[in-house]
Amino acid sequence: MRDKARHGIRTIIAAKRIEVEQSIVKSIIITTVGFTFSWTPYAVALFVSAFRRKHYAIPPLATLMCASFVKTSTIWVPLLYMSTSTQSLLRFVNHSRKSSRRRPEHGIDKIARKYGLIQNNHDLNPIRRNDETVASYLDPESHRQLSPEDKQAAKAILPNFMKKESQFIGSSSTSTYSTGNKRNQTLTDKLRIMLGMSTNVKQTRTLSADDELVLFTQLIRSYKSNFSTFWTQYRERFPCLYRVVQRVNIIAVTSVPSESIFLVAGYVTRKQRTSLSSTSLRHLIVLKESYRLEELQTISRRSMN
C-alpha cells in the first residue's frame, strides 16, 4: 500500500515537472521568435552595409518596429503565452459554464446567508440543507420569509422527522400513562374495579403526525409572536413537532460534561459517589460507634502494661 502511494506521488511530481518544463520551453520559444522577428530588419541592414563596405541607412520602419517590441514585450509575451495555454482555456470555459448554470437563490439560502451560516450557495450539503429548511419552517419568524418551494420541501421532509420522534413519544407516553393510572387510583376507584363498575376514566386522543402538520400550517400563518412564545404555548398541542423542534432548532450551548462540572446536581452526585468509597464507609462506622473506641483504647493500654 505504501509502495503504491509512493509510486502515485512520484507520478504526480513527474507530471508536474514535465508541465513546468513545457511551459518554460514554450515561453523561451515565444520570446526568441519575437526577438528574431523584430530584429530582422537591423540584421539585414548590417549585413548589406558590410557587403557594400559603406554605411547603409536603417529604414525608419525597422526602428519603429524594434522600439515598439521593446516597449510592449512585457505585455504581449504573457498574453501570447496565456492564449496558447490549454489550462487557461479550460479554466475560462469552466468559469463561463458555472456562471451560466448558476441556480437562483431560494429563501432558505437568503436566511442562512443573512445569519452568516453560509458563504455561497454550495456550502450546504443535503443533510444540513434539510435541517435548515425544517428549522426555518418551524420558526414563526423565518417561516414568513420562506419561498413556496422551500415550504413544500419542508412539508415533504417533516413526516420523516416526525416518524422518528413519534416512536419515542409513543413508548414514553405508554409508560407514563400506566404509572399515572396506578398513582391516581384512589380507594374508591379500586373498590369500583373490584365490583366491576366503571371508573369514568376519560382518555384524550392524541393527534397523528399528519393532523399536527395540518393544524400547525394553519396556525403559523396568522401567528405574529416569536419562536419561544409559540412553542411554550403549543408544545403540548403538538408533541411530535415539539420533539422535532428540540432536535433541530434548539442547540445546547455547552456540552453535558461541562454542565455537570458547574451544576449543583453534578456536585451532589460526585459527593455521593465519593461517600460510598471504602475509606469513607470505614470513617462513618468509626464515628457512629465511637463509644467502642474508648473500650478498645483501654484494652490496648492494659495489654501494654
Average pLDDT, stretch 208-224? 83
- pLDDT value at position 176? 46
pLDDT tens profile 255-272: 555 555 556 666 666 666
Q: Is 196 left (phi over 0), alpha (psi -120 to 50) or beta?
A: left
User: Is 154 in contact with 146 (CB distance < 8 Å)?
Assistant: yes
pLDDT of the residue at 118: 47
> Average pLDDT, stretch 53-76?
64
How many Å apart are CA 193 and CA 149, to the nearest integer? 56
Which position has the grid cell 419552517? 137
The string of pLDDT tens digits covering residues 277-296 is 666 666 666 656 666 767 76
Q: What is the pLDDT of residue 221?
A: 81
pLDDT reported for residue 98: 45
Label residues 140-173 b or e (16+ Cβ within 10 Å = b): bebbeebeeebbebbeebbeebbeebbeebeeee
d(CA 240, CA 167): 9
Contact assessment for residue 158 and residue 137, using Cβ atoms and an 8 Å cutoff: yes
Q: How many CA atoms lie within 13 A of 277 on its CB side?
A: 8
With H, G, I as helix, E, B as strand and everything else as coil, classify residue 100: helix
| 155 touches 213 (CB < 8 A) | yes
Q: Each residue of 68-120: pLDDT tens digit?
A: 766 666 666 666 666 655 554 444 444 444 444 444 455 555 555 554 444 45
Q: What is the pLDDT of residue 235?
A: 84
Greater confidence (14 vs 197) lies with 14
Would you list the domain boundaries of the chain?
Answer: 2-100, 107-251, 259-304
What is residue 25's predicted lDDT score, i.e. its pLDDT?
72
Mean pLDDT value across residues 215-243: 85
The set of cell numbers assigned to 97 is: 459554464
pLDDT at 147 over 70: yes
CB within 8 Å of 259: residues ≥ 6 apart: 266
What pLDDT digit, counting tens, does each position of 156-192 carry?
A: 888 888 888 777 655 555 444 444 455 556 667 766 6
Mean per-residue pLDDT, 122-151: 79
